[in-house]
Structure 1
Amino acid sequence: MQWHVWPAILLILIGCLGALPAAAAESNPFSTKPTTHHGLKWRIGYLEGGPYSNYPLNLKALVAALADLGWVETVDSIPLGSEADTSLLWRWISRNIKSDYLTFVADAYWSSNWDGKKRRIQNRRAVIKRLTTKKDIDLMLAMGTWAGQDLATNRHHVPTIVISSSNPVGAKIIKSEQDSGFDHVNARVDPTRYERQLRIFHDIVGFTRLGIVSESDTVEGKTYAAINDVQRVAGEKHFDILSCHAPFSKVTQEEAFQAVLRCHRQLAPKVDAFYITVHRGVDLQRMPELLAPFYEYKVPTFSQSGSQEVQAGVLLSIARAGFKYIAEFHAQTIAKIFNGAKPHDLDQLFQDPPRIAINTRTARIIGYDPPMEILNMADEIY
């Protein structure tokens, strides 16, 4: 493979982007100052589609960002527990986070465990029933695409913050980048995030055959894997896409993992680069097994999800600083809602600062000597 030195023009572009504010300029006058709900604490609930490695990291970062704004007391450390399971984390937060202004309600937690046939339907009904009858929840955190889809409805009107959805517009959670379509819904969007990732990856590697894995027979699967973005950049950069179907819903965690592993073994000899997409089968604890085919065939990899997968052995990704920046965005949105703003009226557009994460051990394994330009741009080096 012909490795490319990162073009100077791209370095200049990324340097300029990095100098911009992390979010679009906010014209809304609402304060982020801590306040109570008519003398009572605001009550927050949580819904997710199922366990996923990004979810606990997002939740932990959100609590830290709320602490930075003064809404909760600062804690030295928040235990993650399982890499993917937020239930223990939510329980810990509900019991241990101290605040005069808000509370994370212990029994207002729902996970569908990726059961789209039964559990998801039951949870959707249970959550909406509680929001509309008991009415004891003031704001819902909808973690991921499934949760966003389930709560982006006029069957309730409780403010809902959609977190960690790959493409909320494509998943039909919100109407557009500017308009959620619901007064009570706000979903972070970054419409060109994955296109930027792929362009950076191509500028570095110069591949002609890119491998990807997705659940190709569902809208959610295509959305998670950013299929439309991959196809768009493939047309622009003139590379071929070699894809492999691996189910993540309606299967067990082990079945999802084995499906991804089969795809990796099948595609590794055929591609000269691989885009590790968002998929339930991508298990951080078992990354050496998942990445072994790419090490064997000297295939460079890029993580769509973020730098936690680079730390686990993927070659490259965008550094996300433990989700600090996106958590600050969501925390400010929540603070403004509690100060009287409608979720619909607040910004949804937020771009991650474009900083690189690289695994130098993986680079050595696959025979890649990263140029100094890339190392100088890297915020996270493993």
Structure 2
Amino acid sequence: MSRSFFSSILRVLILVPGVIFTLSFAPALAQDPPVKRIGYLEAGRFWLFDRTFAAFQQALADRPEVGVAYPPDAHHSPGWEPENMARLPELAEKLMRRGDLDLVVGMGTAAVKALLAQNNGHTPILGMGMADPVAAGVVRGVADSGVDNFTCQVIADRWTSMFRVFHDVVRFRKLGILYQNTPEGRVYAALDDARSVASELGFDVLAFGRLSSAETDDECRQGLARLREEGMDAFFIGPLNCFDRETNDVGALLQLLNDWKIPTFARDGSEFVAAGALMGFSTWNFGPTGQFLANQAVAVLNGAKPRSVPMLDRVEPTIAINLETAVRIGFPFPLDVLVVADEIFEHTALPDAWKER
């Protein structure tokens, strides 16, 4: 055989191990990061929960360095009826007992409290959709969750500012509030904040707290009628199921209040103002909220201790007003309010998002 033949064989023998090495390890080098599994618990469906979680999922989808999955059998929403709410501890314990979840989302104060009550001490818990985690006693303060495997978003002084703005514009004497008489119900109604500001500014809070956990339309209508009998001259629209635009005729409730010529403030965004509330917070932009929560989740999924992740989110309140409602109830907006309003609706109309339900 020629020398060139042996040289060719030698070159093959030298190259083959390298080829084998490359073929053996190429798939491993090209693999995507391990998929992180996220569980979910809420007391029941609520439009604010849906929009918050959708924004969170979208923000995570925009972060390709973190692959996530949402196992269907780790997603629980029992419902707002009392017998279903009673299942929260069981479902929370079920999620905390699993060993295959990298993060569990608690949506709403009731769900977060249930998870913390069943906490296994190591599965990270991310709280969302809470009106005021500090007032609810869920966290120790704006800078410390108080629990090593828990974090959430905290917005300081949001509701006290809301009541001050509403009173500064309307100058009401008796503010009506509907709520469910539970710790979570009082927090969602911002009842303590309302009473604190009332004491400071000199108005009364008329609170109707006989709603069930279902917060039905009939219960809310009965409550509104009672508050009217007691002299309510302004009403705060909180995050109640009867004011859930996905499940109830919110426009009819707003029309009722406008027929009574009661000024209203909507906590949850300008879609309520467009539908007939006198004023409220301007468009609730879920994008930044989803991004903030996603940043927290990514930090935790990458190994950060949840308690070390910053919770404070500074959000500047913006205001929307409805001019048609103002005329209808006989309320003239001061000129300075017209100048500083972020959104002005000249006519009342059901938002397109509501028409699609």
TM, length-normalised to structure 2: 0.79
Return the offset for 1:163. Answer: 0.8
Aligned to 2:180: 215
Runs (4 or more) in structure 1 with deviation over 4 Å come to none
How many angstroms apart in 1 are the aligned matches of 2:314 and 2:125? 20
232-241 or 351-360, which moves further after superposition?
A: 351-360
Contact 1:57 1:322 in 2 (8 A): no
Contact 1:248 1:280 in 2 (8 A): no
SS of 1:64 mapped into structure 2: helix
Corresponding position: 1:158 with 2:123: yes
Contact 2:60 2:66 in 1 (8 A): no
Contact 1:210 1:240 in 2 (8 A): yes
How many angstroms apart in 2 are the aligned matches of 1:229 and 1:195? 5
Return the offset for 1:121. Answer: 4.8
**Cα 1:297–1:329, aligned 2, differ >3 Å: closer, same or farther?**
same
How many angstroms apart in 2 are the aligned matches of 1:380 and 1:162? 30
Higher relative contact order (CA 8 A, sep 6+): 1
Structure 1, residues 274-316: CA drift from partner, whole Å, max 9, x if none? Answer: 1112222223241222123321232110022333322332121
How many angstroms apart in 1 are the aligned matches of 2:36 and 2:314? 28
For 1:265, the aligned partner's letter is A
Corresponding position: 1:187 with 2:152: yes
SS of 1:261 mapped into structure 2: helix
Aligned to 1:261: 221
Contact 2:160 2:197 in 1 (8 A): yes
Aligned to 1:149: 113
How many angstroms apart in 2 are the aligned matches of 1:287 and 1:63? 27
Corresponding position: 1:332 with 2:295: yes
Corresponding position: 1:110 with 2:73: no
Contact 2:254 2:275 in 1 (8 A): no
**Cα 1:373–1:63, aligned 2, differ >3 Å: closer, same or farther?**
farther
Count of paired positions: 312
Question: Greater helix share, 1 or 2?
Answer: 2
**Cα 1:206–1:52, aligned 2, differ >3 Å: closer, same or farther?**
same
How many angstroms apart in 1 are the aligned matches of 2:194 and 2:128? 22
Within-5 A mapping of 1:25-36:
none
Contact 2:273 2:279 in 1 (8 A): yes
Identify which of 240, 244, 256 aligns with 1:283.
244
SS of 1:321 mapped into structure 2: coil
For 1:177, the aligned partner's letter is V
Structure 1, residues 334-354: CA drift from partner, whole Å, max 9, x if none? Answer: 121122211111122223221
Contact 2:264 2:279 in 1 (8 A): yes
**Cα 1:324–1:353, aligned 2, differ >3 Å: closer, same or farther?**
farther
Return the offset for 1:187. Answer: 2.1
Contact 1:363 1:369 in 2 (8 A): yes
**Cα 1:370–1:326, aligned 2, differ >3 Å: closer, same or farther?**
same
Aligned to 1:202: 167
For 2:178, the aligned partner's letter is V
Return the offset for 1:140. Answer: 1.4
Within-5 A mapping of 1:32-43:
39-43=33-37
Aligned to 1:56: 50
**Cα 1:248–1:358, aligned 2, differ >3 Å: closer, same or farther?**
farther
Corresponding position: 1:239 with 2:203: yes
**Cα 1:100–1:210, aligned 2, differ >3 Å: closer, same or farther?**
closer
For 2:150, the aligned partner's letter is V
For 2:58, the aligned partner's letter is A
Structure 1, residues 88-143: CA drift from partner, whole Å, max 9, x if none? Answer: xxxxxxxxxxx9611222222101202444x44544334433443x4121111111
Query: Gapped runs of 5+ residues in structure 1?
Result: 1-36, 73-98
Larger Rg over CA atoms: 2
Return the offset for 1:58. Answer: 0.9
Identify which of 86, 93, 101 aligns with 1:137.
101
Contact 2:282 2:342 in 1 (8 A): yes
How many angstroms apart in 1 are the aligned matches of 2:86 and 2:228? 38
Structure 1, residues 56-112: CA drift from partner, whole Å, max 9, x if none? Answer: 111122223334xx325xxxxxxxxxxxxxxxxxxxxxxxxxx96112222221012
What percentage of aligned pairs have identical amino acids?
32
Contact 1:264 1:293 in 2 (8 A): no
Within-5 A mapping of 1:74-93:
none
Contact 1:273 1:300 in 2 (8 A): yes
Corresponding position: 1:308 with 2:271: yes
Contact 2:37 2:103 in 1 (8 A): yes
How many angstroms apart in 1 are the aligned matches of 2:298 and 2:343? 30
Corresponding position: 1:357 with 2:320: yes
Structure 1, residues 163-213: CA drift from partner, whole Å, max 9, x if none? Answer: 111122332322222221211111222241110000010111111111111
Return the offset for 1:215. Answer: 1.7
Contact 2:139 2:145 in 1 (8 A): yes
Query: Gapped runs of 5+ residues in structure 2?
Result: 1-30, 346-357
For 2:48, the aligned partner's letter is N
